[in-house]
Amino acid sequence: MRSYSTLALAHKDRVLTITLNRPEVLNAVDAQMHDELAEAFHFAATDTESDIVVLTGAGRAFCAGGDIEHLARNAAQPELFDQEARVAKRVVFAMLDLDKPLVCRMNGHAIGLGATLALLCDVIVAHDGAKIGDPHVCLGLVAGDGGVAIWAQRIGLGRAKEYLLTGEPMTARHAAEIGLINHCVCPSQLNDAVTAFCNRLKHGSMQAIRWTKVLMNLELKRVATAVMDAGVGYESVTARSADHREAVKALQEKRRPVFCSDHTRL
């Protein structure tokens, strides 16, 4: 079993559980977690002790998105962001290349990159106290790390534009109603619901299940291939913008950002 500083991996009954393990910051993603996520999904693909993978978070959140200190450092040194944007692309394709069923146990809020991680899973089970949303634009950033690739595939272009252009989060219950996630249950039922679904898969023909997933992911990979390079490029440009610097400062000062209306101030 691989060992990571920001993730915890565990086997049980042919299920590999990958836990985002920074509960003190609501499993917010920093540079280390970026790197380790890509490595962990590559490990999962070749792991001989598992047929199914579950992705979840430690503590009361699934993933709060980008770590605030990490965002501030990147805003001050945008060249650091460029490398992480490329790693984000590796994470997306490592998830899409995984031929094992990938189940998201969304144990709390999934925000920004956290939402992307959840939505790239095959089946998402959330508890009804959780929210999901991609507020990249609220930070003056393009949603280029995978959000533009997956949201429209799940709920259609019109709805995806509404949520990605506003950054508005939604409840897990509403997300289930519009088809963004699969199931919304009460917190006490979350473990049983995930276990029951994994057990259904384990009693099926795993080869047929895996190859069916591979076929369905061909279209997702085509879309991701078409948009990820441009997405990373646009996000890197906005990472250097006055709006992004203002948004990070406002986040640190716990106030609403005041964005410039003149695009020439990028």
Average pLDDT over residues 205-232: 96
Residue 266: predicted pLDDT: 52
Other C-beta atoms lying within 10 Å of the C-beta of residue 16:
22
Residue 187 DSSP label? G
Lookup: tokens for 226: 């078409």
Which band of pLDDT confidence, cut at 50, 70 and 90, is reported for residue 73?
A: confident
Q: Please check the confidence at residue 86 and state whether its pLDDT lies above 80.
A: no
Residue 102: predicted pLDDT: 98
Residue 247: predicted pLDDT: 94
Which band of pLDDT confidence, cut at 50, 70 and 90, is reported for residue 264?
A: low
Average pLDDT over residues 58-82: 87
Residue 262: predicted pLDDT: 55
Residue 83: predicted pLDDT: 75
- In the block, tokens 């897990």 appear at 172
Which band of pLDDT confidence, cut at 50, 70 and 90, is reported for residue 261?
A: low
Which band of pLDDT confidence, cut at 50, 70 and 90, is reported for residue 196?
A: very high
Other C-beta atoms lying within 10 Å of the C-beta of residue 24:
9
What is the tens place of the pLDDT at every residue in 32-45? Answer: 999 999 999 999 99
18 neighbors 9 (Cβ within 8 angstroms): yes
Residue 138 DSSP label? G
Q: Please check the confidence at residue 143 and state whether its pLDDT lies above 60.
A: yes
Q: Please check the confidence at residue 161 and state whether its pLDDT lies above 90.
A: yes
Largest Cα–Cα distance of the chain, in whole Å?
58
All domains of the chain in start order, with CATH: 1-188+205-266 (3.90.226.10)
Mean predicted lDDT score pLDDT of the chain? 94
Q: Please check the confidence at residue 241 and state whether its pLDDT lies above 90.
A: yes
122 neighbors 102 (Cβ within 8 angstroms): yes
Average pLDDT over residues 226-231: 92
Three-state DSSP at 63 gives strand
Lookup: tokens for 250: 């406002």
Residue 195: predicted pLDDT: 98
What is the tens place of the pLDDT at every residue in 96-132? Answer: 999 999 999 999 999 999 999 999 999 999 999 999 9
